Amino acid sequence: MIKEARIVDVEKVAVIGSGNWGTVIARMLGTNVVQQKGFDHEIKMWVYEEMVGERKLTELINEKHENVKYLPGVSIPENVIAVPDLLEAAEGATILVIVIPHQFVNDICGKLKGKVHPKAKAVSLVKGFDTTQSGIRPISHVIKEALKIPVCTLSGANLANEISEEKFSETTIGYKNRQEGELFKRLFETKYFKVGIVDDVLGVELCGALKMLSL
C-alpha cells in the first residue's frame, strides 16, 4: 500500500552537506526554488564548521556567496544560507536533501532523529552503503529507519565540477510515491540537469553505489 504523499503548500528545503557535490546541489536548488512555484525561497545549507585561515567557513560562504574551500570560483545564490548548526539548518524543512559521505549518515541521522518536520521527506544523494558487523544496508534504509520519513534517491553519471559549469548532465530519481518523485523532479531539474524518475528507490541507489565501487 502506497502512503499518501507528504506534500505541503510551500516546501522548505534544507541541504545537509556542503562539500563539493553538496555545494553544487545547493547552488542549483537555490536558483530553482525562486523560479518554481510551491517552494520557500530560502535554502539553509548545513556546513560542518571549519576554519579557512582565520575565518569560519560559514562566514566566508555567507559573505562571499562562494564555498571558497570546496567549490572555489563558483558563485552561490544569496538565498542559500550556510548554517553550522545541524538542527537549525533542518528546522522547519519539509525537504531534506542529504549530500554527505556515507560514513557520517548514522551520526547525522542520530542527531536529527525525532526533530524533523512532521511532513518531512528526504532525497538521498549519498553514495555507498552502510556497513556493519551484521551486514550491509542501503543508505536510504538507514535514513528512513532513523527519521521515520519517506526517502527518495538520486543518482547518475554526475560530476560535480561539470554541473557547476552547467554542462549538460542526466540523473535519475527513484521514488515510492509518484507525487514525491515529481516534486523532486521539479526541484532538481534545470536546462542543463535533466531528471528522469522511476518507481525504484533501491535500484537507483544500488546503481549509484556500484558505480562508485567500479571506479
Burial class (CB in 10 A: 0-12, 13-18, 19+), 50: exposed
Q: Active-site residue among 64, 113, 115, 211? A: 211
Residue 211 annotated to the active site: yes
Q: Of 79, 101, 95, whose CA–CA distance to 30 is shortest?
A: 79
Q: How far apart are CA 161 and CA 175, in angstroms?
A: 26
Side-chain half-sphere of 3: how many Cα atoms within 13 Å?
Answer: 11
Q: Of 27, 57, 173, 39, whose CA–CA distance to 93 is shortest?
A: 39
Q: How many angstroms separate the Cα of 183 from the Cα of each of 2, 50, 128? A: 16, 33, 24
Catalytic positions: 211
